[in-house]
Structure 1
Amino acid sequence: MTTAVDTRFATARQVADAVLFEGYVLYPYRASAAKNRLRWQFGVLVPPAWGHGSAEHSFQRTEVLLEPRRGAALLVELRFLHTQRRTVQRALPGGEFETVQSLELPDRVLVPWDEGVEERVELRLDVADLCDQGARLPFRRPVHEEAETVHDASGRPVGRLLRRRERIDGVLRLTAAELPGPYRALRLTAVVENGSDWTPPGEADADREAALPRSLVSAHLMLGLTAGSFLSMTDPPEWARSAVAQCRNEHTWPVLAGDNGAADVVLSSPIILEDHPHIAPESPGTLYDATEIDEILALRTAALTDREKREARGTDDRAAAVVDLADSLPPEVLERLHGAVRALREATGPEAPPPPPPDFGGAAPGVRPDTPWWDPAADRSVDPATDRVLVDGTPVGAGSRVLLRPGLRRTDAQDLFLHGRSALVEAVLHDVDGGVHLAVTVDGDPGAELRREQGRFLYFQPDEVALLEEA
């Protein structure tokens, strides 16, 4: 069973790993950093007794539609982190130890820290059995304690690390029901619950730190079908839209995550993703911080002082790996990270390969051979300064004066404040999807000249303006 699950989930697991460890330890990767004081922000399933008085929850609910073939089996893998509390102790004469806030070593500074131990709950069952009686799988992770002796450079014991994991209880519930209608489709419901009977000591609003060791952290599900397919919850076929709208997904969201665009695997995570998410091919490794781009994060980490790097290495093994990665990145890897372009696509869908750079050495019409392929100036077929677009049957371009009428279907509050204002068209722009946009400066805007110098305009579509007069 494990081999089958691992093979089918291989591609989805790359993204699932990013979900599992998102925010695990943030730059500058030190326990003392303010950003690392509040951790485990996604998918934390807390004990019910504590969850009732907090903003976090004790369960996740996933509902998806599937079209199984005869004899299909459902593969389920629940993954989460089990918080492991680490205490630092210094060795004393006579074999005794005392708890300390830090332990200085030549290569690292050890400090108290909550580590995350990956846990999995795996299950395989026939889809037909789900429709008949469903499935309930309780699971438990017992209390675990261990001690690790810390040695100095000469091999002499100078302290120890005490690690403790509290008991975790949970349950995974699965049911399936056939949808009415001519299509043989099922609605699958998967619920993950924290079943801990732990109650906060003293006041009901006990510190979150006390609940975390009994919580399922970064909990998410991977679901796989051996025969058949799941339906997209974001772009379902027309016949299934009503059924999809009735699905209840609470504290999680399911997306298609099969290999090469297949629909036989679903990843249901506490972070909202699009169908078929994937890791950028140029990413050099796990940095645990999706709010930064890899290039900036790698450069910042490499620039930490030796003292800061020692603290990071002593904070967590994963933080130490990030520091080592940043220190060892060759220039060609950083060059690959710099200016990576992923948005230009000739075809749609996750399997569409990026187009090769155009061959500017030949006689390609409309292309300037001395300009990089990605530069808009490389294409003579468009020119923001001279292009025109029809507005109510009249050509409009740079120099035209228009009345702004932002459309409610694709605008924001800032645009609505400009409704009825007059503006000057500065350029006509074409995007890679074939859309046309008017770059404008608003009459009376004291920063108009600065916008022109920087090329930072306000943008409206042709049906959001009315022609006033030609300049």
Structure 2
Amino acid sequence: MDAVRAIADTILYEGHLLWPYRASAARTGKRWTIGGVQPKDEAERSGGRWTVSAEFLLEDGPETTVEFTLRFLHAVHRQVMDGDAPVEELRAGDVTYRTRQEAREREITSGRLPVARLLRSPVRVPVAIAAGLDEEPVAGAARIVRTWDRVTGTVVLSAERAAPGAVRLRAVVVNTGTAEDRDEAARTGMLCAHLVADASGGDFVSPAAPPARLADAAAACHSDGLWPVLAGPTGGHGTVLAAPIVLYDWPQVAPQTPADLFGGAGLDRLLAELSAGDPRGGDRATTGTGRS
């Protein structure tokens, strides 16, 4: 799953970090550029999505199981505090701390589900992430306060017989929260959302290049806001990635990409670079490889 996670993390952070960026640019008012599943009321006002879905085929047997994982970013507000006073930035020694928007990765998994169970009736997996707050002392009375809002929703999983020896799996992601405006929608949304499906005892069918006997069944699959492809090692049929951008089967992260770009020190370093001001008084611009 390492190869799948690498490409999934690239998708996860593409809308958050990898766009041409200036700290003062108007675009930064809406950092989340792809894959947002918003509360229904704001989605209907803004033309966004409050639900996304994916359908794809799985060649199954009596013991076939499948596990679904919903992954998304959860917006976090990082506020720098000088004592009890909120400030935009604070310098302590050689380090400058800045107020900014961050994000946390969230994963919701269905656990292993027999395909036979999904054929009987849909399975609903709740999305329920509580609002929260944490504090990080930095120097003296200075601290960083991080807050995040509640995110609620449902993942509905089902299956139907599509052809002899093959089922059509369907996953529907719904945001059941509410939001009064775009800012609240970002805080309560499932940002850069995507699904990973992992099969045991069965083989997923390529949506782009199905075998001839399953071509009609594959053509009858309908997805909305997510585009499923085979993922993992080239030639493997055990994993599907349903992403908010169009990919080819078995996508790979470019070999020149730093291995730790989206984890630990790599992500912290990139966040710091993106939010840093140019020492000459301007803004630093960072160019990435985003797609719209």
- Aligned residue in 2 for 1:273: 247
Q: Say yes or no: does 1:49 pair with 2:70.
A: no
Q: How far apart are residue 72 of structure 1 and its match?
A: 0.9
Matches within 5 A, 1:163-202: 163-180=146-163, 183-196=164-177, 198-200=178-180
State the distance in 2 between where 1:179 and 1:68 align: 11
Q: Say yes or no: does 1:101 pair with 2:75.
A: no
- Aligned residue in 2 for 1:408: none
Q: How far apart are residue 28 of structure 1 and its match?
A: 7.3
Choose which of 12, 15, 37 in structure 1 pairs with 2:4: 12
Contact 2:67 2:198 in 1 (8 A): yes
- Aligned residue in 1 for 2:124: 136
Q: How far apart are residue 258 of structure 1 and its match?
A: 3.0
Q: How far apart are residue 173 of structure 1 and its match?
A: 0.5
Contact 2:23 2:274 in 1 (8 A): no
State the distance in 1 between where 2:146 and 2:131 align: 11
- Aligned residue in 2 for 1:320: 272
Name the structure with the higher strand share. 2
Tell me the amino acid that sits aligned with residue 248 of structure 1: H
State the distance in 2 between where 1:271 and 1:159 align: 41
Tell me the amino acid that sits aligned with residue 184 of structure 1: G
Q: How far apart are residue 106 of structure 1 and its match?
A: 4.0
State the distance in 1 between where 2:169 and 2:239 align: 13
Contact 2:53 2:171 in 1 (8 A): yes
1:69–1:107 Cα change, 3 Å = farther
Contact 2:179 2:188 in 1 (8 A): no
Q: Let me know the Cα RMSD of the aligned residues.
A: 2.4
- Aligned residue in 1 for 2:59: 67
Tell me the amino acid that sits aligned with residue 214 of structure 2: A
Match of 1:274, SS state, is coil
State the distance in 2 between where 1:106 and 1:261 align: 53
Match of 1:146, SS state, is strand
Q: How far apart are residue 89 of structure 1 and its match?
A: 1.6
Choose which of 200, 203, 224 in structure 1 pairs with 2:198: 224
Matches within 5 A, 1:31-430: 31-91=23-83, 97-123=84-110, 124-151=112-139, 157-180=140-163, 183-196=164-177, 198-200=178-180, 206=181, 208-285=182-259, 318-320=270-272
1:241–1:28 Cα change, 3 Å = closer
Q: How far apart are residue 319 of structure 1 and its match?
A: 1.9
- What TM-score, normalized to structure 1? 0.54
1:273–1:186 Cα change, 3 Å = same
1:28–1:104 Cα change, 3 Å = farther
Equivalent pairs counted in the alignment come to 271
- Aligned residue in 2 for 1:21: 13
Q: How far apart are residue 34 of structure 1 and its match?
A: 4.9
Q: How far apart are residue 77 of structure 1 and its match?
A: 1.1
Unaligned runs of 5+ in 1: 1-8, 92-96, 152-156, 201-205, 289-312, 324-471
State the distance in 2 between where 1:57 and 1:35 align: 20
State the distance in 2 between where 1:47 and 1:280 align: 34
Q: How far apart are residue 244 of structure 1 and its match?
A: 1.8
- Aligned residue in 2 for 1:384: none
Deviation by residue 1:318-373 (Cα, 9 ceiling, x = unmatched): 423889xxxxxxxxxxxxxxxxxxxxxxxxxxxxxxxxxxxxxxxxxxxxxxxxxx
Unaligned runs of 5+ in 2: 276-292
Choose 1 or 2 for highest CA Rg: 1
State the distance in 2 between where 1:121 and 1:254 align: 18
- Aligned residue in 2 for 1:420: none
State the distance in 1 between where 2:18 and 2:65 align: 39
Match of 1:40, SS state, is coil
Deviation by residue 1:241-289 (Cα, 9 ceiling, x = unmatched): 222222111001000003242111000010111000011223224667x
Match of 2:210, SS state, is coil
Tell me the amino acid that sits aligned with residue 69 of structure 1: G
State the distance in 2 between where 1:30 and 1:287 align: 19
State the distance in 2 between where 1:316 and 1:113 align: 13
Contact 2:149 2:187 in 1 (8 A): yes
Percentage identity across paired residues of the two chains: 33
State the distance in 1 between where 2:69 and 2:20 align: 32
Contact 1:224 1:264 in 2 (8 A): yes
Match of 1:233, SS state, is coil
Q: How far apart are residue 240 of structure 1 and its match?
A: 2.0
